[in-house]
Amino acid sequence: MVTITVDGQAYDAEEGQTVLQVLRAHRVALPTLCYHPALKPSGSCRLCAVEVVGKSGRPVAMLSCIMPVKDGLEIKTTGEIVHAARTKAFRRLLQMAPQSQRIRDLAEQYNVDVGPPPDGCVRCRLCIRVCKEIIGAGALRMEKREGNDFVVPVEGACIGCGTCANICPTGAITVSDSEGVRTISIRDEIIGIHAMERCQACGRPFATRKFLEYAEAHVQPHPDVKEHHRYCPTCAKLLADRVKLGLRQRQR
């Protein structure tokens, strides 16, 4: 039997045990992902680092899952050295598995800042530019949050055209049409929710009411007095083709 000291508390341990085994036996919290009691420890995740005094006499971080206990060993499970080692390990793991919520939750549990979760956005600003320079709605802007740039909606400015989603090179912006309502989103933020107009020919929802009103208000004035209809692109093309065919037949 040997005695080790963990954060100032003395614990008895059996020779041949690892530090992690002793810590777990005494319910001392330490993050791990790759450890399993049925398998030989490998130290792959590197999360179980603790602070010990190295051979040089200076404190260093070592992996508790592969470090055997020895009498008089003194260990710290918190502090700057441990925090730096954990932060490096968590960020390394997230480079391999950036979408892993399990890793992020574990990092938060141990107060390790791993940065914002990936949102698929590469900050190319195409969506912001096309909405402002081509569409003219200006419904998106760049905002800095906790030191990082994010594309965010401008409240009430979206007209529901979906151009931002079409031009997005990574699919970070999504458009969902359901039961006559269009929802445009980025991450968990809604850019716009809009009622859709139905085609007067086929009856299918095809464009948002706000987009059609915006388009009608921004087209060049034309001295026509015809009755206007709202057709989806498919029906509009079919009707136009029929008109052209009728003109050709009358010209013969």
Give me the tens of pLDDT residue by residue for the chain, a chain 252 residues long: 899 999 999 999 998 899 999 999 999 999 999 999 999 999 999 999 999 987 778 999 999 999 999 999 999 999 999 999 999 999 999 999 988 999 999 999 999 999 888 888 999 999 999 999 999 999 999 999 878 899 999 999 999 999 999 999 999 999 999 988 999 999 889 999 999 888 878 878 888 989 988 888 876 665 555 556 677 778 877 776 665 555 555 555
Q: Specify the DSSP class assigned to residue 71.
A: T
Q: According to the model, what pLDDT value does residue 234 have?
A: 80
pLDDT at 56: 79
Residue ranges and CATH numbers for the domains of the chain are 2-109 (3.10.20.740), 126-220+229-247 (no CATH)
d(CA 56, CA 67): 17
101-109 vs 80-96: helix crossing angle, rounded to 10: 170
Predicted pLDDT at 45: 96
Segment (H or E) for 108 = helix 101-109
Cβ neighbours of residue 248 under 8 Å, at least 6 residues apart?
none
pTM for this entry = 0.64
